[in-house]
A and B are shown apart, each in its own frame.
Chain A
Amino acid sequence: MIRRTFKEIALLLALSLLVAAATYTVRDDVPVLFSKNSAPTLQAPMNMPTAPAPLTPEQAHEAFTTEDVLFVDGRDNFDYDMGHIPGALNIPLHEATADPAILAVLPKDRHLVVYCSNDLCGKAQKLAALLTERGYRADTFPGGYQEWTTHGWKTEEALQ
């Protein structure tokens, strides 16, 4: 009974592999596939004059202590409530893309630093790109909240 199941599994795997291999040789759009942009593009294109610059954790912290910057948290409300950089405003990316009008709460005359969870999350880059498109001066802090907490820097919670 179990042997038959395994036989069926093997048959299905082999069959699909065979057809996939056949299409791979026949279709001409397949060989190029993913060779062009081999890494997910997280950075905004560099040729944009106002492209958001990625800040190192030290730069972000220095901006936090010395400059009049406003941190923008691109994560969901839940993550924001669990903890965020002190004074940061929460603009979840999905809300901003659904209704860019909410970006109007951000002041145009201040330097914005957008962050999300860590360097694997693309929200900060996307949100910063959205902001620079609208004439904001926005940079990103790719290390995000995770990097901030590993340095032991001050955080703020909405839920006590």
Chain B
Amino acid sequence: MRIPTALPRILVGGIFIYASVDKLLAPTAFAAAIANYQLLPQGLINPVAVWLPWLELFVGLGLVSGKLIRGAAAIATTLMGIFTVAVAYSYIRGLDINCGCFTMDPKSISDMRLVLVRDIGLMALCLMALYRAVLEQQNSQNKKTE
């Protein structure tokens, strides 16, 4: 029973950690990827390019290790929501850009529709993780009060 409850958050956490690595290694490419979305004002691009990978890493570590899981799951869900909206909006505007999601390689496949489907799937997983994180913590609180 314990393992299935923790599974979504560990999965989401792993994905977040994996996603953060390439961005941490190539902040310049990630900044360019963010700029291509043409959503953020110029002044915010660099700070976000530096901050977002670390946030993803800490959220991922939290989810995998089981520390601060409600906060981490909430942030993960919010981030996936923002990513999904950004990708959907870019697709509607007809932008053909590198997603900047997992790899900064400009040659990576950039079919925005695939990215969109993947993001929606990941967001569902995040919501599951969030729901189960709340359950997990409630369970442990109940155990304490008993």
Q: List chain A positions with a Cβ less than 8 A from chain B.
A: 1, 4-13, 15-17, 19-20, 23-24, 27, 29-30, 32-34, 37-40, 75, 79, 93-94, 116-118, 120-123, 126, 144
Contact = CB atoms under 8 A, between A and B. Distances in A.
B83 interface: no
17 contacts: A5-B70, A5-B74, A8-B68, A10-B71, A11-B68, A12-B72, A16-B55, A20-B50, A20-B54, A30-B46, A34-B32, A34-B35, A34-B46, A34-B49, A37-B32, A38-B42, A122-B96
Given A118-B94, A121-B95, A33 B28 contact: yes
Nearest to B32: A34
Contacts, number: 105
Interface majority SS on B: helix, strand, loop or mixed? Answer: helix
Contacts of A9: 71, 74-75
B97 A13 contact: no
Interface in B31-74: 31-32, 35-36, 38, 42, 45-46, 49-51, 53-55, 57-59, 62, 68-72, 74
A24 B59 CA distance: 20
